[in-house]
Amino acid sequence: MPEFPVFPSLSPLRSAGNRSRLPVNMVAASIAGAILLAGAGLTALTKAPGWVIGGLVLGLLVMMSLRMCNSWQRVLVLRAGKIQGLRGPGLFMIVPFLDQIDAVVDQRIRTVPVHTRQTLTRDTTPVDVDAVVFWMVHDPLRAITELDNYEGSVSMVALTTLREVVSSSDLATLLEDRRRIDGELRDLIEIKTREWGVTVQAVEIRDVQLPDSLQDAMSRQAQAERERAARVTLASAEREVAHELALAAKTYEASPIALQILQINRIFEMNKNRGTTILMPTTMADSMTTATAFAAAMQTVQPEAAPPVAAGEVSD
């Protein structure tokens, strides 16, 4: 029974996405501390506790009004429930008790993994596909105001798009042409998320898992292909050997003496080891006799060298 796709949970995304926290503002803390110390010093000099209370209140107001965000963060500020605008990066001021920081958007590139289980391809093959989506927020205002949870929306769109692309592709395409599939996924997700202020940088398929039976069948097919290639190579080598042997046979046919010398050489090679008994046919022995006689005749044809004349000897 095929399993349904796994959708990411929205609760962790909601807590970690739009509701990110601002870093600790050491500048505001330093100013508030200096004001508090000044109030305490004035109280010690004038013996009036109002200075400490005033310094404490002023320090709290500074802490609440002077805020800071990092270079990759943008802050949405609401004033009495209405959008005041985006603030950041760096230091910015808000009106205490009137302005509210509704969301902090991280504009760095982020990743979201997507996974489909038992998804049927176009050739009806169930596969499990793992992919990773690289995305970033290019328009924080639209991402916050148009979506309740833009991270969860990106995850949902990526998952449904992945299932659509897998269902419309063949298994061979998923295994052999992943770059084209990655580009197609990125373009389709980009079309859906650009209106939300989200840009998809890249999509990469990490793994395509096949059923065990299909893996065994593909393994046997690959082994059969390797055996076929090995047999084709062996047949080609045998054909070349046969061609060379045919050329050698023509050479020996044109020169019987060369064939007889080859036979003598083969017998010599076989008789290198002592105690070897060789049985030769009569025709082969006759051939060897003829070749031996031919070699002896060639030696007698050579002229004999005249003996050297001794020194001081005079010929008649």
Q: What is the pLDDT of residues 183-206, one digit of tens each?
A: 999 999 999 899 899 999 999 998
In this predicted model, what pLDDT tens digit does every residue of 244-253 receive, in sequence order? 878 877 777 7
C-alpha Rg value of the chain to the nearest Å: 47
Name 26's Cβ contacts closer than 8 Å, sequence gap at least 6: none
Of 122, 130, 215, the residue nearest 169 (C-alpha): 122
Average pLDDT value for residue range 130-143? 92
Confidence of residue 305 (pLDDT cuts 50, 70, 90): very low
Confidence of residue 10 (pLDDT cuts 50, 70, 90): very low
In this prediction, residue 156 carries a pLDDT of 92
Residue entry with tokens 């400490």: 52
Orientation of helix 282-301 relative to helix 256-270, angle to 10°: 110
Task: Measure Cα distances from 133 to 123, 197, 203 in Å.
Answer: 26, 16, 5
Q: Residue 158: pLDDT above 90? A: yes
Residues of the chain with CATH 3.30.479.30: 110-210
Beta bridge partners of 113: 132
CA contacts within 13 A on the Cβ side of 216:
3
In this prediction, residue 1 carries a pLDDT of 41
Is the pLDDT higher at 311 or at 126? 126
Average pLDDT value for residue range 255-271? 70
128 vs 115: CA distance, rounded Å: 7
Lowest mean pLDDT among 104-118, 219-233, 258-272: 258-272
Superfamily of domain 110-210: Band 7 domain (3.30.479.30)
82 vs 276: CA distance, rounded Å: 111
Average pLDDT value for residue range 121-136? 90
Q: Residue 13: pLDDT above 70? A: no
| The dihedral formed by the CA atoms of 162, 164, 166 and 167, expressed in degrees to the nearest 10 | 160
What does DSSP assign to residue 157?
Answer: H
Confidence of residue 64 (pLDDT cuts 50, 70, 90): confident
Q: Residue 254: pLDDT above 80? A: no
